[in-house]
Amino acid sequence: MAQADKVSNTKLLRATPPRLRVDFAIAMMCIFTDFLGDNLLAPTYELFIKEHGIPGMGFGLAVSILTMSFIFGRCFGSAIMGPVSDHAGRWNTIMVCSLLTAFGFLLQALSWSFWSLVGFRFLTGFVGGTRVVIIVYITDWMTERYMLTFWMSFIPIVSSVSSFAGPFLGGIVAQADQSHPLNPAYAGFALNATSFLLVLLFMRKSPKDAGLRLCTSKKNEASSGAASKPSSAFGPLVEWKAVLLWFLVCGLSSAGTQGWSVLLVTIQRELGLSSLVVGSISGWCGLMIIAGQLLVLPTLFHRLKFSEGAVVVFGFALSPSIIILGFVADLWATVAIGSLFSLGVPLIMT
């Protein structure tokens, strides 16, 4: 967000029409409620596994399966939601997926066994993989480079904060009634239902949203095909080395975030921490992500004159600190290492 050359973020925000800010705020709300699913139930995994765990399955493996089921669902969903939105329409896709995500959380809350929860988490992640559609939605509205960069920069902030805020919210709900460990999923249902209503009632279609298209005419296909043929006069249109490196960086950052969540649940069991304490630690880490984005990132770019590559390397340099928790089982060490790790998350995602 700090990379708009000589154009302040305040000016970019003011230059955005007020009605468009509402549309984008609703879009960010959809991303926030979607990424809550990453770790919303994390503080209650220990209680749930005690009641419904698979005999002979280790605690760490069970937590990993529950965590990754949602991630795999989102991975598959993200791969197909973009093409689906081309035919069904951006707004239609976001609206329907918001509704289905809400029902996915409701099904999680009603899970009756370990594998039913795994299946419902996969389903919720799959129908909630609308981040790519929202990226296209924003791109449909914004053509000016600085404006597009400004609004796109909110997406990693919102998704990262949501991933860490989820356990905080889940811990509060779980602490209120420990007899039903999946109660936090009801909070996910309520928030995603709210996102659905906001999209349905207040969010506008983008200028390039053609709506539902079951088929296209051959004439349009021919003209679009001719227009989409890449020109070889100026070399390849895609720098595949850079794209693959970007995929690798994103994958490693996501793996690190999820690894921290699994580690935090394991620490909860070892230290006998309550769901509220674990949620509070994760919520604090969410604040550190915001601090990294709003304070550390501008300092590295503007005052220390770091390049984008140097910022990413610096972020990765902070990440190995998480290894310390493999040798030190202490509450305050967990808070300190989690804070340092969280500060590096927005730097890696630059």
DSSP string, 32-80: HHHHGGGTTTGGGHHHHHHHHPPTT--HHHHHHHHHHHHHHHHHHHHHH
Residue listed under structure tokens 């550190």: 288
Say yes or no to pLDDT of 38 above 70. yes
Model pTM score:
0.76
Which residue would you say has higher pLDDT here, 189 or 166?
Answer: 189
Q: Label residue 186 by pLDDT band (50, 70, 90).
A: very high
pLDDT digits (tens, 9 = 90+) for 150-178: 888 888 778 878 877 888 888 888 888 87
Segment 245-274 mean pLDDT: 68
pLDDT value at position 81?
86
The string of pLDDT tens digits covering residues 5-34 is 456 778 888 888 999 999 999 999 999 988
Of residues 309 and 258, the one with the higher pLDDT is 309
Question: Which string of b and e fits 228-248 if b means at least 16 CB within 10 Å?
Answer: eeeeeeeeeeeeeeeeeeeee
Which of 60, 165, 81 lies closest to 131, judged by CA? 81
Please report, rounded to a whole number, the percentage of residues in the chain having pLDDT higher than 90: 22
CA distance readout (Å), 254 to 159, 160, 215, 261: 11, 9, 37, 11
pLDDT-derived band at 240, boundaries 50, 70, 90: low
Q: Where are the alpha helices (DSSP H) in the chain?
A: 9-15, 18-35, 45-52, 59-88, 90-109, 114-127, 131-141, 145-152, 154-176, 184-202, 218-228, 240-271, 275-291, 297-298, 308-318, 331-348
Residue whose structure tokens are 């690798």: 248
Q: What's the pLDDT score for residue 94?
A: 92
227: confidence class by pLDDT, cuts 50, 70, 90: very low
Which pLDDT value is given to residue 187?
92
Please give the DSSP secondary-structure letter assigned to residue 175: H
pLDDT at residue 233, rounded to an integer: 47
Flag the least confident range among 121-135, 201-215, 228-242: 228-242
> Is the pLDDT assigned to residue 247 strictly greater than 60?
no
What was the pLDDT predicted at 236? 56
Q: Give the pLDDT confidence score for residue 221 in this predicted structure.
A: 46
Mean pLDDT to the nearest integer, 299-317: 76
Residue 345 has pLDDT above 80, yes or no: no
- How do residues 91-147 score in pLDDT, each as one tens digit? 999 999 999 999 999 999 999 999 999 999 999 989 987 778 898 899 889 888 888
243 versus 24: the higher-pLDDT residue is: 24
pLDDT at 259: 66
Average pLDDT over residues 261-286: 78
Query: Which domains, ranges and CATH numbers included, belong to the chain?
Result: 17-207+241-348 (1.20.1250.20)
